[in-house]
Amino acid sequence: YYLSTTVRSYDDLLIAISTIGQDPNLSLKTKKELTVDLVRKTRPHLSTENWNNFKRALNGDDGNSILPSLKFLHQLRSTLWII
């Protein structure tokens, strides 16, 4: 379903990734895999400026933190298992 989503802009990409991240039926690993596949599919259609904006939103930079809707991509599954 998610990979058939039509992404025509940077905003569409963020909305699609946010939707994946909020899906309670998917494991964290599946959310990450779907996001990577969607980004790979969308990358050729993004301008260089939009691609750079996405990288900043994903990784943060000096003045900005990571976009909240992308934080699930930074979660480590193993930290949940440590007692």
Q: What is the pLDDT of residues 25-60, one digit of tens each?
A: 999 999 999 999 999 998 888 899 999 988 888 888
**SS3 of residue 11 by DSSP:** helix
Q: Which of 32, 52, 42 is nearest to 9 (CA)?
A: 42
| Average pLDDT of the segment spanning 3-22 | 88
Q: Which of 25, 27, 3, 29 is nearest to 17 (CA)?
A: 3
| Per-residue CA distances from 57 to 8, 14, 80 (Å) | 18, 9, 25
pTM above 0.85, yes or no: no
Handedness of CA 8, 11, 12, 13 (dihedral sign): positive
